[in-house]
């Protein structure tokens, strides 16, 4: 009974690269977020999983690629960190820092508002993060409470760069021109669609966030969108009586509808209310940014695709999958060579999977192949380059019955004729 339960648990323990996937912690239209563990370090991470077919179908490739590239540029303690990006044939995996403290929005919704010192500390961390992003030429463009997370130590983390822009996207006038963001938080110049400075537009959104943290409600609200935009364009808001004098002086300087007179971040850093208890962040940027894994995740090269696998036992293949690999329903033909220049081949074996892998390895090494093994998958690379570079062969063992296995060998790279010669002689 225990053995049966143990086998069942192995079947649901999935791995992507070095990460062991766990429970689903979030789900949207195009993506699912799952808790995962780095099997090398033991650290928890969150993996955002996107279906490549859906991403292409809805024209989201460039938006998602931009979000990933933007997050890779940012290495700041108050920004959710992107560790790496991987891609399989069907999915894109974005490995993110796992933040457990929830959304700042939920805390304010439950408590009504924050005490001034607490709100100031979060606002200082927000400005630190936003200022850093701007120094790297990155403008968030959708700053709002729902995109501010908290870690276990109560530190703020900016997330969701899906609508971000980089300085290279500015037009000849030096301004951004895409109208985007969440209506209640968006700056008036963005609504007017005449071009805007990304840094000043982000700062307006930070001012809205500060107001909400202290008041417990938005400064600009109306069920009618036109009326809402009119209030925003005229900065029609009033600070509640419980705001301190310092907050009452600062917020109107941030929520100034004229971007040319609006306070800038360097000026904000000198404001007496902001400076109280201020601690500038101390951190090191650990490594140079490379976008190679982004290109690999979105590309179609089998050589760069990450392995998705079931840990602890060979992946199972049911009858429908088995039949679908054959041209007809006669399974006898499935195991016969009917193509002159095959890029893959399969055969059955009743040997244990460990023995199958071992025998293939013994046969391949004398032929000059370098072997890389992981569970019941193997990648073989011929160290001697052929007519089309080094021949790479991917091997996997599938279980189709308790004592019956299908062994699949595919040419992943190199010359098809060389692959054909290898399997014919094998």
The CATH number assigned to the domain holding 344 equals 3.30.310.80
33 strand-pairing partners: 26, 48
- Claim to verify: residue 112 and residue 260 sit in the same structural domain: yes
Q: Is position 381 annotated in a ligand binding site?
A: no
Tokens of 52: 């490549």
- Claim to verify: residue 120 and residue 259 sit in the same structural domain: yes
- Claim to verify: residue 165 and residue 25 sit in the same structural domain: no
303 located within any domain:
no
- Domain count within the chain: 3
Give the residue-averaged pLDDT of 189-201.
82
Question: What per-residue confidence (pLDDT) applies to 377?
Answer: 80
- Claim to verify: residue 141 and residue 257 sit in the same structural domain: yes
Q: CB–CB of 294/69 below 8 Å?
A: yes
Q: What is the mean pLDDT of the chain?
A: 77
Q: Considering only CA atoms, which of 71, 74, 81 is closest in space to residue 44?
A: 81
Range of the domain at 48: 2-99+291-297
305 located within any domain:
no
Q: Which of 70-74, 193-197, 254-258, 418-422 has the highest mean pLDDT?
A: 254-258
How many Å from the N-terminal Cα to the C-terminal Cα in the chain? 42
Which of 43, 131, 142, 284 is catalytic? The answer is 142
Q: CB–CB of 67/162 below 8 Å?
A: yes
pTM (predicted TM-score): 0.63
- Claim to verify: residue 156 and residue 120 sit in the same structural domain: yes
Question: What per-residue confidence (pLDDT) applies to 161?
Answer: 59
pLDDT digits (tens, 9 = 90+) for 333-344: 334 444 444 667
Q: CB–CB of 64/55 below 8 Å?
A: yes
- Claim to verify: residue 69 and residue 126 sit in the same structural domain: no
pLDDT digits (tens, 9 = 90+) for 304-331: 556 555 445 565 554 444 444 444 333 3
- Claim to verify: residue 252 and residue 116 sit in the same structural domain: yes
- Claim to verify: residue 235 and residue 326 sit in the same structural domain: no
Give the residue-averaged pLDDT of 256-270.
94
Give the residue-averaged pLDDT of 49-67.
79
Least confident of 36-40, 194-198, 224-228, 362-366: 194-198
- Claim to verify: residue 242 and residue 204 sit in the same structural domain: yes
Residue 250 banded pLDDT, cuts 50, 70, 90: very high
- Claim to verify: residue 415 and residue 355 sit in the same structural domain: yes
pLDDT digits (tens, 9 = 90+) for 200-243: 989 999 999 999 999 999 999 988 888 988 999 999 999 999 99
- Claim to verify: residue 177 and residue 239 sit in the same structural domain: yes
Tokens of 83: 């560790």
302 located within any domain:
no
Q: What is the CATH number of the domain that holds 56?
A: 3.30.200.20
SS3 state at 115: coil
CA torsion 341→345→347→351, rounded to 10°? 130
306 located within any domain:
no
- Claim to verify: residue 30 and residue 151 sit in the same structural domain: no
142 assigned to active site: yes
Least confident of 78-92, 220-234, 275-289: 275-289
């Amino acid at each position: 009974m225990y053995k049966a339960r143990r086998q069942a648990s192995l079947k649901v323990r999935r791995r992507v690269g070095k990460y062991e996937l766990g429970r689903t912690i979030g789900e949207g239209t195009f993506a699912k977020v799952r808790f995962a563990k780095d099997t090398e370090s033991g650290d928890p991470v969150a993996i955002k999983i996107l279906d490549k077919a859906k991403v292409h179908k809805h024209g989201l490739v460039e938006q998602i690629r931009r979000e990933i590239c933007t997050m890779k540029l940012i290495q700041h303690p108050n920004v959710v960190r992107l560790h790496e990006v991987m891609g399989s044939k069907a999915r894109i995996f974005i490995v993110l820092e796992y933040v457990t403290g929830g959304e700042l929005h939920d805390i304010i919704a439950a408590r009504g508002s924050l005490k001034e010192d607490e709100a100031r500390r979060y606002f200082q961390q927000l400005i630190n993060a936003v200022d850093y992003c701007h120094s790297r030429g990155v403008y968030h463009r959708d700053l709002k409470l729902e995109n501010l997370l908290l870690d276990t130590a109560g530190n703020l983390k900016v997330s969701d760069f899906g609508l971000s822009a980089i300085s290279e996207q500015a037009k000849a006038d030096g301004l951004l021109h895409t109208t985007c963001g969440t209506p209640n938080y968006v700056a008036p110049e963005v609504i007017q669609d005449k071009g805007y400075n990304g840094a000043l537009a982000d700062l307006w959104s930070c001012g809205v966030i500060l107001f909400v943290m202290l008041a417990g409600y938005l400064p600009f609200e109306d069920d009618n969108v036109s009326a809402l935009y009119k209030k925003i364009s005229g900065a029609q808001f009033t600070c509640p009586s419980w705001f301190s004098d310092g907050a009452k002086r600062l917020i109107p300087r941030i929520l100034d509808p004229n971007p040319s007179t609006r306070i800038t971040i360097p000026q904000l850093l000198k404001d007496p209310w902001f400076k109280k208890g201020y601690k500038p962040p101390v951190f090191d940027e650990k490594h140079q940014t490379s976008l190679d894994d982004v290109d690999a995740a979105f590309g179609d090269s089998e050589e760069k695709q990450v392995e998705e696998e079931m840990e602890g036992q060979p992946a199972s293949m049911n009858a429908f999958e088995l039949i679908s690999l054959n041209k007809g329903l006669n399974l006898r033909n499935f195991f016969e060579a009917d193509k002159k220049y095959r890029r893959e081949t399969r055969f059955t074996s009743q040997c244990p999977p460990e023995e199958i892998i071992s025998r293939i390895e013994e046969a391949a090494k004398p032929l000059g192949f370098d072997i890389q093994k992981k569970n019941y998958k193997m990648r073989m690379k011929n160290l001697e380059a052929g007519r089309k570079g080094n021949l790479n062969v991917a091997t996997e063992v599938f279980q189709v019955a308790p004592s019956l296995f299908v062994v699949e060998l595919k040419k992943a790279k190199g010359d098809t004729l060389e692959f054909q010669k290898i399997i014919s002689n094998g």
